[in-house]
């Protein structure tokens, strides 16, 4: 263990190709092996370096078992950063086929059933007016499932009351297919009356 705060594939250590789709092994910022820790709960920022879309998806897949009905996953990152790839992994971890997941840019909200929990996937990229975002009713639509929101910086007060647990996922570009993914549990909405 190098204590670098990175999640890496087992073959990264020996320098072999990491793009074969094998699961990433998670290393937390505290320096311990963190896969089981992530599955139990997230109580700090965990940062992961990935080298492929499949590795970014694996982080979502590993997060899924920790989620419960009413949780919201807030996704931040530039265009093409890997937010939808992350949600594909999240869906797979919830028991939904990753092939069903696509970017909801034009339909705004996709609903995926058939897994342990229903996944509601929202993309706010095309919405700029806060009233349009409030009109989506995000607080109500996913009370019995998991809500994953791309372009979450646009949410503001749209999740005021019903969300007990919010998890921020920040994805940033590196060179080529490299990404840095930071996962942090934020707790209840600061606007919540709970």
Q: What is the pLDDT of residues 94-107, one digit of tens each?
A: 999 888 887 766 67
pLDDT of 15 reads: 33
Q: Is the pLDDT of residue 169 over 60?
A: yes
Phi, psi dihedrals of residue 179, rounded to the nearest 5°: -135, 155
* Record: fold of 10-186: Rossmann fold (3.40.50)
d(Cα 49, Cα 171) in Å, to the nearest integer? 10
Mean pLDDT of all residues in 70-86: 93
- pLDDT level of residue 188 (50, 70, 90 thresholds): low
- List residues bridging with 74 in a β-sheet: 149, 168
Cα atoms found within 13 Å of the Cα of residue 156, Cβ hemisphere only:
9
Domain ranges across the chain: 10-186
């Amino acid at each position: 263990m190098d204590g670098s705060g990175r999640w890496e594939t087992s073959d990264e250590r020996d320098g072999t190709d990491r793009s074969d789709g094998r699961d990433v092994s998670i290393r937390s910022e505290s320096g311990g092996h963190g896969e089981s820790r992530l599955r139990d709960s997230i109580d700090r920022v965990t940062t992961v370096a990935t080298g492929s879309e499949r590795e970014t998806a694996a982080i979502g897949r590993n997060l899924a078992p920790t989620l419960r009905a009413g949780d919201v996953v807030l996704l931040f990152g530039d265009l093409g950063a890997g937010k939808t790839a992350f949600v594909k992994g999240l869906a797979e971890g919830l028991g939904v086929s990753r092939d069903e997941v696509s970017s909801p840019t034009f339909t705004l909200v996709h609903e995926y059933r058939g897994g342990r929990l229903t996944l509601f996937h929202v993309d706010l990229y095309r919405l700029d007016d806060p009233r349009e975002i409030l009109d989506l009713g995000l607080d109500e639509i996913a009370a019995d499932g998991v809500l994953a929101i791309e372009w979450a910086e646009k949410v503001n007060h749209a999740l005021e009351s019903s969300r007990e647990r919010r998890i921020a996922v920040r994805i940033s570009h590196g060179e080529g297919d490299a990404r840095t993914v930071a996962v942090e549990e934020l707790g209840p909405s600061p606007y919540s009356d709970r």
